Amino acid sequence: MMAPSSILSAFCFFLLGNRSLTNAQFNNYNTTANGTLPVYSSDTVPQITENSTDNDPNYIAPYFPLLGFKEYAGNPILAPNPANNWESAYLYNPSAIVVDGTIWLLYRAQNSTRTSSIGLAWSKDGYNFTRYNNPVVNATEPYEHVGGCEDPRVIRVNGTFYLTYTGYDLHTARLCLATSTDLVNWTKYGPMLPNVTDVVYNWQEPLVSWVPRQGWSKSGAILNERQPDGTYHMHFGDSFLYFANSTDLIHWNVTYDQPPYTPKLNVWEQALMESAAPPVKTRDGMWLKFYNGVATGLGGYTPSQYSTGQMLIDPVNNPYGPPIARLETPILQPTSVHEIEGQVDNVVFSEGLVQFKGQWFLYFGQGDAFLGVATAPVQP
């Protein structure tokens, strides 16, 4: 069966041409006026090597759904640092990983002309982070000038960190890959899926339409174990979720005319869906996948509102989707002032999930301007 998106994109390409569309409204939001926090920063980083340990020593795998997340009352936990140009305006969208008994965050930061760089921070309690004064990944390549490097998602396999991020040249967003053994020194591999064409759902136009975006890819969340079919699996995209696989975590394949990994279902995810943190294996051998969705206004959700939800996926029996279960309502929605008003209003955008010292920590961007955390108990 042909994917609905392929049919519609072909049809709408005919109607609208290859128009570039953006739904997000960017405000000149002054984070300095709205939340200065103490900054703990450092010119050096604790040493990680290929022998550093993964995960909390008492880690207990979750099952679906993972409920009970409460926003930390002290949010935001990280704000822009006016002392460093590259992270002086906005700081948000963190990936998280536990190594050597420490939570590490890779976060997106922007300077006042909105070039994005990826910064590094670490904490022994999950709330109070020290950050490195230099960006660890920033715009060095033509496909990254001058929008920069956005939205990190990190996994660690056999002592190597694999980082997906968006390289943005102000025209096309491209999902890119970099590797490292210490989180500081990254080797770039460039765009992962150079020829992919996704679709954007142009829901704010009077004629609801699907418009193809040539070469556009974003938000890759990789499962950190090789699957029984011999490949590593990734879900990417910021309209639908799409599937890609790789035998070595470096070279990635998509089948370009494949249907999306998952169609939209819930009312709060009708405008788009985007991976949150990399999926986590459950106690019964499935994978729990957090994702972000955007509402069109259906079901009482604010139009353009970003929320976080959960799905259960089965890479063994349903490698190409769809998910085998999905929560009907989000587990995180914009509620605080920083989430309702920001560089972009009404946004929580989760990208980091770790278990640490008996709690789950979910790290997310608030209003594309600040960085917050929500916690949940580990399931008995």
Ligand X SMILES: *[C@@H]1O[C@H](CO)[C@@H](O)[C@H](O)[C@H]1NC(C)=O
Record the tokens describing residue 352, joined without a space.
């980091």
Choices 91-99, 229-237, 270-278, 343-351; region in contact with ligand X by CB under 6 A: 229-237
Instruction: Kindly state the smallest distance separating residue 117's Cβ from ligand X, in Å.
Output: 6
Listed ranges 46-54, 197-205, 284-292, 359-367: which one lies at the site for ligand X (CB under 6 A): 46-54
Q: Of 14, 17, 22, 33, which one interacts with ligand X (CB under 6 A)?
A: 33
Residues in binding contact with ligand X, number by CB under 6 A:
44
What character string, x for contact with ligand X (CB under 6 A) and - otherwise, covers 137-156?
-xx------x----------
Does 27 engage in binding with ligand X (CB under 6 A)?
Answer: no
Written as six digits, the tokens of 325 are 């279960």
Q: Which of 34, 41, 55, 102 binds ligand X (CB under 6 A)?
A: 34
For the record, the structure tokens of 178 come out as: 């970099």
Residue 197, sorted as left (phi over 0), alpha (psi -120 to 50) or beta, turns out to be beta
Please pick, from the candidates 18, 25, 53, 112, the single residue that binds ligand X as defined by CB under 6 A.
112
Residue from 188, 226, 281, 357 binding ligand X (CB under 6 A): 226
The window from 7-15, 49-57, 196-204, 268-276 that contacts ligand X (CB under 6 A) reads: 49-57
| Alpha carbon separation from 293 to 21, 153, 316, 335, 370 (Å, rounded) | 18, 17, 25, 16, 19
Decide if residue 214 touches ligand X (CB under 6 A): no
98 forms beta bridges with 103
Q: Which stretch binds ligand X (CB under 6 A): 14-22, 225-233, 287-295, 326-334?
A: 225-233
**Residues whose CB falls within 8 Å of the CB of residue 89, separated by 6 or more in sequence, listed in order:** 31, 80, 109, 110, 111, 112, 114
- The CB-of-188 to ligand X minimum distance in angstroms stands at 11
CA distance 220 to 191: 11
Binders in 169-198 for ligand X, by CB under 6 A:
185, 187, 194-195
Give the DSSP H or E segment for 153. strand 148-157
Using rule CB under 6 A, residue 335 touches ligand X: no
The Cα-based distances of 91 to 40, 88, 138 in angstroms read 15, 8, 14
Residue 241 contacts residue 258 (beta carbons within 8 Å) = no
Based on CB atoms, which residue is closest to ligand X, 189 or 320? Answer: 320
Q: Which 3 state secondary structure label does DSSP give 16?
A: helix
Our finding on whether 317 is near ligand X (CB under 6 A) is no
Q: Let me know: does 246 contact 234? Beta carbons within 8 Å.
A: yes
Taking the chain, what is the end-to-end CA distance rounded to the nearest angstrom?
43
Q: Binding residues for ligand X, per CB under 6 A?
A: 30, 32-34, 40, 49-51, 85-86, 111-113, 115, 128, 130, 134-135, 138-139, 146, 157-158, 185, 187, 194-195, 226, 229-231, 243, 245-249, 253-255, 258, 320, 337, 341
